[in-house]
Amino acid sequence: MQLVLEKRAERSNTIALVSPLIAIGLTIVTMSILFAILGKNPLLALHAYFIAPLTDSYSLQEIAVKATPLVMIAIGLSLCYLANAWNIGAEGQFLIGAVAGSWIAVKTQGTDAGAWVLPAMFVLAAVAGALYALIPAICKVKFGASEILTSLMLVYVADLFLDYLVRGPWRDPQGFNFPTTAEFDPVATVPVLIEGGRLHLGAIIALLVVAAAAVLLGRTIKGFEIRVVGAAPRAARFGGFNANQLIILTFAVSGALAGLAGIIEVAGPVGHLQPGISPGYGFTAIIVAFLGRLNPIGILIAGLFLALTFIGGEQAQIAMKIPLDVTKVFQGILLFYVLACDSLILYRFRLVFPNRQVTRGAG
């Protein structure tokens, strides 16, 4: 007798709904055991993780701030992935957007520039992000270069370009040689929504992006094309959809969103351009996109949830003196279970008895 993983005849919608719950349940059980081994009260630890951050305005704001760039980038990536275009370089597009938008902020610093500054920064950042994303897209379409590799490699180019600017031409003259621009002027700063808090306009923009993506995918021909090209390339060809055109389009849109997220982060929570503006948002967003099942609403939830584990992890460090490594393990275990449970949507467990061996293939 053995246990085998067998492909289902069709995807199970029940499992699709409950699998995140099973994953969270398994995570809680596993972490409770780990907390107990560490001599920490599992209930208090889980409370610090999941409940405490949701109980006050401050933490809720912080969750939204953390989720904003993740959700914006992940929405763009989901369009790419749905169309079978593999943009792995959102991190680079994020950085280039931040640089392009900062250019206006740096050049207008100390002048009496008006309210046009911030919108102009947003537009320039989105355009720059889109153009940067078009490099791998065009290489893919024209020369058949793997967009996975080219988009990834361009991340390092963007990173070093930013590094050069803040160490050289854009360095704050009063900054004691530290690699950073001067603080942006108020007109070049993303406004805060709640006095004294950190929640900023970017969170609202992220929600608009989610809504726009939901409409695009659910209600428009373009959205339908994107989904068909990804899910059934042959059918798409018969339908006369141009896959190459969609690669260009989805790359441009995801680059624009990543670039916009970049300038919002720099002109918002950070307030100046410096190296290390992204703790890997462009890569974490890939996880968010898949965790949200490439669905706009799903991505919003996944982004908020991942942000919750960051904020909760920090509060657990403070409240329970739980080491950082354990909070990292926590995130890892959670993602592991989510992905593992997701495989049950398309597969199921079966007990196989050797004497009446079943070799029926997958449906």
Partner 1 sequence: MRKTFVAAVAGLLLAGSIGAASAADKLKVGFIYLGPIGDLGWTYQHEQGRLALVKELGDQIETTYLEKVPEGPDAERSIEQLARAGNKLIFTTSFGYMDPTLKVAKKYPNVHFEHATGYKRAPNMSTYSAKWYQGRYIQGLIAAKMSKTGVLGYIGSFPIPEVVSGINATILAAQTINPNIKVKIIWANTWFDPPKEADAAKALIDQGADVIMQHTDSPAAMQIAAERGKLAFGQDSEMIKFGPKAQLTSILDTWGPYYIERVKAELAGTWKSEDTWGGLDSHMFAMAPYTNMPDDVKKMAEDAQAAITAGKLHPFKCPVIGQDGKEVECKGGTSLDPGQILGMNFYVKGIDDKLPGK
Binding region for partner 1 (CB under 8 A): 41, 43-44, 47, 58, 62, 65-66, 163, 167-168, 171, 176-179, 183, 196, 198, 265, 269-272, 274-279, 311, 314-315, 317-319, 321, 323-324
Which residues, 6+ apart, have CB-to-CB distance to 288 below 8 Å?
70, 71, 73, 74, 299, 302, 303, 306
CB nearer partner 1, residue 167 or residue 222: 167
Minimal distance in Å, beta carbon 273 to partner 1? 11
Those residues whose C-beta lies under 8 Å from the C-beta of residue 355, and which sit 6 or more positions away, are none
Least distance to partner 1, CB of residue 340, Å: 28
Residue with tokens 């070049």: 188
Rounded Cα distance between 254 and 251, Å, is 5
Give the C-alpha separation, 106 to 99, whole Å. 10
Phi, psi of 87 (to 5 degrees): -85, 110
| Rounded least distance, CB 51 to partner 1, Å | 11
Give the nearest distance from C-beta 210 to partner 1 in angstroms: 21
Nearest approach, Cβ of residue 279 and partner 1 (Å):
6
Residue indicated by tokens 């898949």: 290
- Nearer to partner 1 among residue 66 and residue 140 (C-beta): 66
CB of 178 to partner 1, least distance (A): 5
| Least distance in angstroms from the C-beta of 87 to partner 1 | 23
As measured in angstroms, the least distance from the Cβ of 155 to partner 1 is 16
Residues 73 and 288: their CA atoms lie apart, in Å, by 9
Helices (H) and strands (E) in the chain, counts: 13, 2
What are φ and ψ of residue 2, in 5° steps?
-140, 160
Provide the minimum distance between the beta carbon of 216 and partner 1 in the complex, in angstroms, as a whole number.
29
- Report the Cα 355 to chain-centroid distance in Å: 49
Nearer to partner 1, 239 or 279 (CB): 279
Q: Closer to partner 1 at the Cβ: 17 or 160? A: 160
**Ranges assigned E (strand) in the chain:** 2-7, 347-352
Give the shortest CB-306-to-partner 1 separation in angstroms: 14
H or E segment at 310? helix 296-320
> Can you tell me which residue has the tokens 């939204």?
64
Contact by Cβ (8 Å): 92, 132: yes
Q: How many CB atoms within 10 Å of residue 39?
A: 6
Of the two residues 39 and 361, which places its CB atom closer to partner 1 in the complex? 39
Is the CB of 6 or the CB of 183 nearer to partner 1?
183
Report how far residue 330's alpha carbon sits from residue 309's, in angstroms, rounded to the nearest whole number: 8
Residue (2 or 177) nearer to partner 1, CB: 177
In the 8-state DSSP scheme, what is residue 348? E
Smallest CA-to-CA distance from 275 within 121, 126, 156 is with: 156
For residues 300 and 71, the answer to whether their CB atoms sit within 8 Å is: yes
Q: Give yes or no for a contact between 33 and 43, defined as CB atoms under 8 angstroms apart.
A: no
